[in-house]
Amino acid sequence: MLAIEATGLTKHFGPTIRAVDGIDLRVEEGQIFGFLGQNGSGKTTTVRMLATLTRPTAGTARVAGVDVLANPAEVRRRVGVALQEVGLDELQTGRELLELQGRLFGQSAREARERAAHLLEVVGLADVADRPIRGYSGGTKRRLDLACALVHGPRVVFLDEPTTGLDPVSRDAVWRYIEELNRGQGVTVFLTTQYLEEADRLADTVAIMDQGKIVAQGPPGELKASIGTDSIMLTFEAEESAARAAAVLGQFEGVQRVLTSGQEVAVYLHDGASAVAAIVRLLDEAGAPAQTLVLKQPTLDDVFLQVTGHHLDVEDARPAAPSSGRNA
Amino acid sequence: MNGITATWLLTVRAFRESLKQPANELPNAFIPLFFYVVTVGAIGSVAQNAFGVADYKGFQLPVAVLQGAAGVANGAGLAMTLDIQSGYFEKLALTSTPRLAIVLGRMLADAIKAVILAGAIIVLALLYGSEFKTGIPGMAVLMAATFGFALAYSGIGVAIALKTGSPQAAQAGFIVFFPLLFLAPTFAPIEVFAAWLEAVARLNPVTYILLGMRSLVTEGWDAAALAKGGVAVLAIGAVTLTLTLLALRSRVRQ
């Protein structure tokens, strides 16, 4: 069964801005679906439409089996949402906030109290539960926000850049919690992120969003395999040298694809290790010697570069490298 | 979620917010009491000879009550912008509760606070020597009118808050009240006004709310004055609540 299904989902702001431009989505129940793209690519607007906070300009969407336009209140009963900006009332305590949220989802006072206590334990906030939220750190607020999204036991959870701005320790805690939520409780997670590592570690399926459109979609392993086995990343002194090198390397035997981004050139080919020496010689002869050369296995960054023509430009601090890779 | 229960839960939340920040409520109590004491001190002794008002303390009492109610009710708009800016408004909008409850909960809390403040002002005015012709039943009616006025008036700030999300703009709602208050028989009976001011005052709904409240304090039961005051409250409420609903619809259907 599909947890999320969208067809031609579109959002325009005014006559010129096409924030989301007719995307199709199919997210299987029980998946972690990674929605990857840089700031302004349309990720958050998509989440807002699926979560009933923003009305689509066109298209249809069903979330947890319910049409978002026909029955938005029922959608809200079935989904949990943690937006990028944690929306917390800082005068309340963590416990008060969760209990009120539970009551507003129709829980009795006792149910709300018990559920809040359980979630506070789960996200490790029991010891600060009765302190005002304004005194919480960024990571603590993020964990409380996650708990808030889960207070009514949703089957689908939207997490909009849940680790942006967090320190590596808090980020790792959030990652582990998302994995537990998905694997332990079977909750479908729709995760937007601008961190490749995050998508690579957590997501069963990744969709890459660029300028309002989905430009690639599939399991991370398949996406990486689709662009060739190896890549050689080269940097040059100037963009002119990079362009000249790209032209030369395009003729090199075995090269599947060459992409240029500023002073960088990415070469995709099979068995890159055996081609390195010949490529270096070829560039020297062409008068475009490389300043640096790195041989890599394909990553989601390569996939991103290939399908969008540019690197993922992350404005915030990047997360620390994960200790283990689920989809490596 | 039942809309009435949700509204009550959010009213309690807004009320609890005030209890956590009592200092924020002090100006709402201080300003009307300050103006009450100063105005009575300045004009009270000449009011009888100047315009035939024997009990100027009673004459000014409803002015203080309305001022206090407007000050309290103006807080609803400001608090709403803070919820919008912090993202908590969206957190509430993501629950299954009717979205109107988010707005009404806030407005009701301020209306209740306005009633409490009105009670305090009445007690202090009585201690200061004011009379209250209709006694405790009249006080109850005055507080009910205060509740209605505060609920209606808070709609201005809340509508602005929902439309703009700006605290500065929401606070500007208070500016609406001052011209309405001073274009009403606030300091003197309407009969002594210049012709142009009397004409304006007779078009001003606050005039009828003030006269209705004042009749309870200084004259006794006057059904006509009370009816006009009630209609004025309903008229203000109809306009502001319509604006609030339109602004809410606009915000949640972006």
Tens digit of each residue's pLDDT (9 = 90 or more) over B221-252: 999 999 999 999 999 999 999 999 999 998 88
Give the residue-averaged pLDDT of B57-85: 93
- Amino acid found at A320: A
**Residue A323 to residue A154: CA distance in whole angstroms:** 29
What is the residue whose two structure tokens read 């959608």? A75
At B1 the pLDDT is 66
Distance from CA of A216 to the nearest CA of B (A): 28
Give the residue-averaged pLDDT of B138-155: 96
In chain A, residues with a C-beta closer than 8 Å to the C-beta of B83 are: 89
Interface contact flag, B96 A88, Cβ < 8 Å: no
At A326 the pLDDT is 34
In chain A, residues with a C-beta closer than 8 Å to the C-beta of B99 are: none
At A314 the pLDDT is 63
In chain A, residues with a C-beta closer than 8 Å to the C-beta of B17 are: 89, 91
Tens digit of each residue's pLDDT (9 = 90 or more) over B151-180: 999 999 999 999 999 888 887 777 778 888
In chain A, residues with a C-beta closer than 8 Å to the C-beta of B90 are: 53, 83, 87
Distance from CA of B246 to the nearest CA of A (A): 16
Say yes or no: B20 contacts chain A, CB-CB below 8 A: yes
The three-class DSSP label of residue A17 is strand
Tell me, yes or no, if the pTM score tops 0.90: no
The CA distances from residue A168 to A174, A198, A323, B231, in Å, are: 10, 12, 11, 61
Tokens in use for B102? 């988010």
In chain B, residues with a C-beta closer than 8 Å to the C-beta of A73 are: 96
At B133 the pLDDT is 95
Tens digit of each residue's pLDDT (9 = 90 or more) over A125-173: 999 999 999 999 988 998 999 999 999 999 999 999 988 878 888 888 8
At A328 the pLDDT is 26
| For testing contact with chain B, the best of A66, A103, A144, A151 (most B CBs within 10 A) | A103
What is the residue whose two structure tokens read 């392993």? A221
Selecting from B87, B89, B92 the residue whose C-beta is nearest the C-beta of A104 gives: B92
Average pLDDT of the residues of chain A: 88
In chain A, residues with a C-beta closer than 8 Å to the C-beta of B10 are: 104
Interface contact flag, A88 B88, Cβ < 8 Å: yes
Selecting from A76, A88, A89 the residue whose C-beta is nearest the C-beta of B96 gives: A76
Q: Quick check: B83 pLDDT over 80? A: yes
Q: Quick check: A93 pLDDT over 50? A: yes
At A228 the pLDDT is 64
Taking only residues 93 to 112 of chain B, the set having a beta carbon closer than 8 angstroms to any beta carbon of chain A reads: 93-97
In chain A, residues with a C-beta closer than 8 Å to the C-beta of B89 are: 87
Query: Of A93-102, B91-100, B197-206, where does mean pLDDT reach its minimum?
Result: B91-100
DSSP-assigned letters across all residues of chain B:
--HHHHHHHHHHHHHHHHHH-GGGGHHHHHHHHHHHHHHHHHHTTTHHHHH--S-HHHHHHHHHHHHHHHHHHHHHHHHHHHHHHHTHHHHHHTSSS-HHHHHHHHHHHHHHHHHHHHHHHHHHHHHHT---TTHHHHHHHHHHHHHHHHHHHHHHHHHHHHHH--HHHHHTHHHHHHHHHHTSSSSS-GGGS-HHHHHHHHH-HHHHHHHHHHIIIII---HHHHHHHHHHHHHHHHHHHHHHHHHHHHHHT-
At B24 the pLDDT is 85
Say yes or no: B17 contacts chain A, CB-CB below 8 A: yes
Say yes or no: B1 contacts chain A, CB-CB below 8 A: yes
Angle between helices B56-86 and B99-128 (to 10 degrees): 150
Say yes or no: B250 contacts chain A, CB-CB below 8 A: no
Give the residue-averaged pLDDT of A268-296: 89
Interface contact flag, B86 A90, Cβ < 8 Å: yes
Tokens in use for B163? 């439309």
In chain B, residues with a C-beta closer than 8 Å to the C-beta of A86 are: 87
What is the residue whose two structure tokens read 């509204």? B7
Tens digit of each residue's pLDDT (9 = 90 or more) over B17-38: 999 988 888 888 899 999 999 9
Query: Of A86-95, A234-243, A301-310, where does mean pLDDT reach its minimum?
Result: A301-310
Distance from CA of B162 to the nearest CA of A (A): 15
Q: Quick check: A325 pLDDT over 50? A: no
DSSP-assigned letters across all residues of B33-62:
HHHHHHHHHHHTTTHHHHH--S-HHHHHHH
Selecting from A85, A100, A101 the residue whose C-beta is nearest the C-beta of B87 gives: A85
Give the residue-averaged pLDDT of A38-50: 92
Give the residue-averaged pLDDT of B110-128: 95
